[in-house]
Amino acid sequence: MLAAENLVKRYGSRRVLDGFDLTVAPGEITGLIGHNGAGKTTFVEVVAGLVRPDAGRLHVAGRDALRAGHAVRRLLGVAPQELALYNRASVRENLRLFAGLAGLSGRHRDGQIARVLDELHLASLADRPVGVLSGGQRRRVQAATAMVGSPPLLLLDEPTAGADPQTRAALLAAVRARAEAGAAVLYTTHYLPELVDLDATVAVARAGRVIARGTQQELTRGLPGELRVTFDDPAEPELRLPTTDPAADLAALLASGRRPASVDVRRPGLDDLYRSLEAPDGQEARDAAA
């Protein structure tokens, strides 16, 4: 559904995208992660047609998105990082506008609006001006503008930033439902547990390019987890050991004569992957996996 190859975008002498490659298949949720300045939002803006790259290729549903811009944009639903809503208009009026931009009209438009209002728990707010809503409610409205019309490609850039738990739960459930219905979803976030909840594949961006791509299990393989051992010893009640082989490390501990009261193993996760990006050795390991 989405295929980007060797995208380059310069601002002056700075390359914000520097050979950015990424594909997202129908029915797949891809979490795009990376530190600030990695190029995530610029990539979303390029796919959305808001920014034109200096080089590279971009296809959406097999079409050249850099040449057939208007036709391709109707295949996209975009929730930008910065809210882009009409505060004086009601939630329903905002959705009617975005539905019209997606080419919907009449009963089909009204049915799609009713669906997304229900999906994101917005029905009771439909006739309120957006400007009087809470931040979390406005986040849901922004996501609703992206989802109305059921586009085959969703671009969600930090859709739960600053959101309350109710907003986050509603958005994640809606994203899962859209992917299960066949939509390709590109989801940028700094809140890594969301990607676990979404069972997303992961793309790691650094300095304008994707340096690692795969499932969470593939990308965290080889990273250290943690062995947590408690003892009935007030002098040292707990021991935490980084480990890539918890069985061997526990056996070595037992061989030393110490007898634990309890043992817990924490497997490596996305937080460990994210932290590993800060170290040169971690970068090399992830580059090798890419």
Cβ burial of 203 (10 Å; 0-12, 13-18, 19+) is buried
Most confident of 77-81, 90-94, 99-103: 90-94
207-218 mean pLDDT: 91
- At 209 the pLDDT is 94
Say if residue 7's pLDDT is above 90.
yes
Say if residue 21's pLDDT is above 70.
yes
Q: How confident is the model at residue 286 (pLDDT cuts 50, 70, 90)?
A: very low
- At 278 the pLDDT is 60
What is the percentage of the chain residues whose pLDDT exceeds 90? Answer: 58
Domains annotated on the chain, with CATH: 2-218 (3.40.50.300), 220-289 (no CATH)
Q: How confident is the model at residue 241 (pLDDT cuts 50, 70, 90)?
A: confident
In the predicted model, what is the mean pLDDT of the chain? 89
Q: What is the C-alpha to C-alpha distance for residues 99 and 105, in angstroms, rounded to an integer?
A: 7
Name, in order, each residue with C-beta under 8 angstroms of 176's C-beta and a sequence gap of 6 or more: 29, 198
Say if residue 50's pLDDT is above 70.
yes
83-97 mean pLDDT: 95
Residue 225 to residues 61, 241, 265, 272, 273, Cα–Cα distance (Å): 39, 8, 7, 8, 11
- At 213 the pLDDT is 93
Q: What is the C-alpha to C-alpha distance for residues 114 and 110, in angstroms, rounded to an integer?
A: 6
Q: How confident is the model at residue 285 (pLDDT cuts 50, 70, 90)?
A: very low
Confidence (pTM): 0.82
202-231 mean pLDDT: 89
pLDDT, tens digit, 9 for 90 and up, residues 66-81: 887 677 888 999 999 8
Cβ burial of 255 (10 Å; 0-12, 13-18, 19+) is exposed
- At 288 the pLDDT is 37
- At 2 the pLDDT is 96
Say if residue 181's pLDDT is above 80.
yes
